[in-house]
Amino acid sequence: MNEPLYTSTNPTLRERLRGFVNSFGLPRLIIAAFLLMLYIAAPFVGAGFWMQISNTINRFSWNAIMVLAMVPMIHSGCGLNFGLPLGIISGLLGATLSIEFGFTGGMSFLMAILIATPIAIVLGAGYGWLLNKIKGGEMMIATYVGFSSVSFMCMLWLLLPYHSPTMVWGFAGKGLRTTISLEGFYDKVLANFLQINIGSLSIPTGTLLFFALLAFAMWAFLHTKTGTAMTAVGSNPTFARAAGVNVDKMRLLSVVISTWLAAIGILVYEQGFGFIQLYMAPFYMALPAVSAILIGGASVNKASIANVIIGTFLFQGIVTMTPTVMNNMIHMDMSEVIRVVASQGMILYALTRKTEASK
Amino acid sequence: MKNKSFGTKLLTFVRDNTVPIMFVLICVFCIPLSGFSFSYLLNEIITRMGRNIFLILALLIPIMSGMGLNFGMTLGAMAGEIALIFVSDWQIWGIPGVILAMILSIPISVLLGAFCGKILNMAKGREMITSYIISFFMNGIYQLIVLYMMGSIIPIKHFSVKLPRGYGIRNTVSLLNMRQCLDNLLAVRVGGVKIPVLTFLIIGVLCLFIVWFRKTKLGQDMRAVGQDMNVARDAGINVERTRIISIIISTVLAGFGMVIYLQNMGNIATYSSHSQIGMFCIAALLVGGASVDKASIGNVFLGVILFHTMFIVAPKAGAQITGDSMIGEYFRVFVSYGVITLSLIMYETKKRRQKSQMGLQLQQEQMEEAAK
């Protein structure tokens, strides 16, 4: 009796394992295992475990919203938003204008969001309109829209009439600096809210709550009528059109939301980091966000909030852990190489999936 | 009547050549502002033509086989750099060094090209973004090899190449003993303008090769694949293999191009020389009036001249207008990216327009294909 049972369960177990690997994706598994190994190795090589954990959580809180910005466009079938820098620019405009108008402290953060919002909506609408014109080639054009807008803004940062002495070059009296300190403005304004400190572990509760709020709002939105229609557009545009959904309008809406979230995302990033980075800094910011959500289990046309959370945690874990742990382990700073290979490899993997590339 | 037809003709001409016309206007506007002398400009442009044309020509073959702009040409550039690092470690200089570097780059390029082609075959329809990400991915691997494995696993001896810590390659590798050896051999001076005849001869040979290649069986196959993959497959062409070969050829040519480029520059910025190459070459090609699915040798030459004229005069002209030299620097970066964006948009809209014009039958076919 036992024998046939054994032989019949054995293949199913193996199949189940293979099915799990297939559905989860081999690269994801490798990355997760690698991170686990880093955490296990951390105490042995003298890198404080709790310190590493709080670093990871901190970086998670800075970056999560920019990863969340990927979700709406993936849902509406616009693919991965390589044009994230456009939203980042709206955020940067909000930040610099808020400081220029003389707001300080927590108020400057609020005003930065308020100023960035209309800019993000206008830019996002234009960007969405463009992406509707070029359905099928979104990702490549998105990349270059991001690049051209960043390089265009490089000129504007120099030319716009900013005067606040905290932001412009001291000797010239005009043109914004490449990095602007946020001390006295909204440096750590969210992170310090209800911050928890236990020994060397510190948790930026405020930032996490802010992310949770936005993530919940996104989740709720995706379950409204409009949100469901958006998902329908992404999974089957022909069917959606037949069901009376305005495909172009849904795509436009998703792009606007994504751009706005990117703007908020960069502001949250700045409050954690403590500096505004201008000029070429936003140039490659889309790639970490893209690879984070893919590592979290999303594909080119499917993403959930869980993907965002898992992905950001894994990605930022690798970013924070590799320099310290690898350095202590083999006395070589290979973190840059590992990060590039892991993140770009993940994007490549997602782009080459046949099942995911059926659109 | 005749006038009107001329008008419409002019309109179509302008519409088909928006980007080159725009660039001619920019150049005409900026040249007098920059205040450069004519002979200086001519000299610079001829130098840059010799430096860049070979690299840009490497882009033509993947366009022919319908794979779009090959952002993966960076891979070839990396192969060329690795070859040059070896050659300068062995201290082989001058023309023999250049030739040896080219020969050495071939196996590396073929390997990388085959890898790139395989992956692009798995991502049909999104080749450009995939090749773009491949270039980033390979940059990571390149760093791993050059920064950590060279000197520790791969034997590198010479102190001028190796980092003092014992492994890894220095940030810049000097090619002083090789500098412009190709350009100076047989160089002709005409009224203060140096013409690197040998480099142009090599470029001429490559142009002839491309013209000849288009007429061969393989070249015809590539064009067929570029037109329609399914039809080509029905006609008995091995589509996957043809596409891989086209990428391999492009990568090998890019490797040669990089060797020519670097012997002209006189040093290798080990970790950054290749990173911008793809972008500038593609921008130059598009400025010459090429598009994602159509490019000719003429586009390459016109593109190099227009793009690099803009590149030389923009910083000076920008400084004249705004009083800040950085504006011009940013302006030329913006224009490079803007041109690529604009060309991609024009290509996609054109493709969509054609698609909608092709009528119901094709739509049905496409729906069937999508259902698959």
DSSP-assigned letters across all residues of B162-213: B-TTSSSB-SEEE-GGGTTHHHHTT-EEETTEEE-HHHHHHHHHHHHHHHHH
Residue B289 phi/psi, 5-degree rounding, is 100, 5
CA–CA gap between residue A286 and residue A288 (Å, rounded): 6
Supply the Cα-derived Rg of chain B in whole angstroms: 22
B141: contact with A, CB 8 A cutoff: yes
Q: Is the pTM of this model over 0.90?
A: no
CA–CA gap between residue A59 and residue A56 (Å, rounded): 5
The torsion region of residue A355 among left (phi > 0), alpha (psi -120 to 50) and beta comes to alpha
Residues listed for chain A:
359
Query: What per-residue confidence (pLDDT) applies to B3?
Result: 59
Residue B89 phi/psi, 5-degree rounding, is -70, -35
Average pLDDT, chain A: 82
User: B340 contacts in A (CB within 8 Å)?
Assistant: 144, 147-148
Please say if the pLDDT value at position B363 is more than 70: no
Which of A150-159, A162-171, B69-78, B120-129 comes out lowest in average pLDDT?
A162-171
Model confidence over B288-299: pLDDT tens digits? 888 888 888 999
Average pLDDT, chain B: 86
Nearest residue of chain A to residue B122 (CA atoms): A352
Name the H helices within chain B: 2-16, 18-34, 38-57, 60-64, 73-89, 94-122, 127-143, 181-184, 197-215, 217-227, 229-234, 239-265, 277-287, 297-322, 325-357, 359-371
Whether B334 and A158 lie within 8 Å, measured CB to CB: no
Query: What per-residue confidence (pLDDT) applies to B361?
Result: 64
Whether B333 and A130 lie within 8 Å, measured CB to CB: no
Query: What per-residue confidence (pLDDT) applies to A8?
Result: 46
Other Cβ atoms less than 10 A from the Cβ of A173: the count is 9
Nearest to A157 by CA among A184, A177, A138: A177
Report CA-CA distances (Å) from A83 to A131, A202, A285, B264: 11, 33, 10, 36
CA–CA gap between residue B37 and residue B60 (Å, rounded): 33
Residue B56 phi/psi, 5-degree rounding, is -70, -35
What is the DSSP secondary-structure string of A26-46?
A: HHHHHHHHHHHHHHHHHHHTT
CA–CA gap between residue B61 and residue B210 (Å, rounded): 8
> Closest approach of chain B CAs to the CA of A155, in angstroms?
6
Query: What per-residue confidence (pLDDT) applies to A41?
Result: 77
B33-38 — which CB contacts under 8 Å span 24+ positions?
B33/B313, B33/B316, B33/B317, B33/B320, B33/B321, B34/B312, B34/B313, B34/B316, B34/B317, B34/B320, B35/B316, B35/B320, B36/B312, B36/B313, B36/B316
> Closest approach of chain A CAs to the CA of B129, in angstroms?
5
Which of A34-48, B99-113, B339-353 comes out lowest in average pLDDT?
A34-48
B323: contact with A, CB 8 A cutoff: no
Structure tokens at B8: 């419409």
Distance of CA B29 to the CA centre of its chain: 27
Q: Which residues of chain A have pLDDT under 70?
A: 1-11, 21, 23-24, 46-47, 331-332, 354-359
Average pLDDT, stretch B208-212? 93
Architecture in CATH for domain B47-302: Orthogonal Bundle (1.10)
Supply the Cα-derived Rg of chain A in whole angstroms: 22
Higher pLDDT, B164 or B101: B101
The amino acid sitting at B308 is H
Structure tokens at B57: 């020509």
Query: Going from the N-terminus, what domains does chain A have, and what CATH number goes with each?
Result: 28-39+47-351 (1.10.3470)
Q: Are B343 and B19 in contact (CB under 8 A)?
A: yes
Query: What per-residue confidence (pLDDT) applies to A54?
Result: 83
CA–CA gap between residue B55 and residue B256 (Å, rounded): 8
pLDDT band at B360 (very low <50, low <70, confident <90, very high): low
Pairing of strands B267-269, B172-174: antiparallel
Q: Which residues pair with A179 in a beta bridge?
A: A277
A99: contact with B, CB 8 A cutoff: no
Average pLDDT, stretch B148-164? 83
Nearest to B315 by CA among B323, B307, B325: B325
Model confidence over B248-287: pLDDT tens digits? 999 999 999 999 999 888 888 888 888 888 888 988 898 8
Task: Indicate the SS3 state at residue A79.
Answer: coil
Query: What per-residue confidence (pLDDT) applies to B206?
Result: 93
Interface of B with A in 341-370 (CB under 8 A): 341, 344-345, 347-349, 351-352, 367, 370
> Closest approach of chain B CAs to the CA of A27, in angstroms?
14
User: A139 contacts in B (CB within 8 Å)?
Assistant: 126, 129
Q: Write the residue in B144, B322, B345 that is nearest to A130 by C-beta.
A: B345
- In this prediction the ipTM stands at 0.81
The amino acid sitting at B38 is F
Determine the straight-line distance between the first and last CA of chain B, rounded to whole angstroms.
51
CA–CA gap between residue B112 and residue B118 (Å, rounded): 10
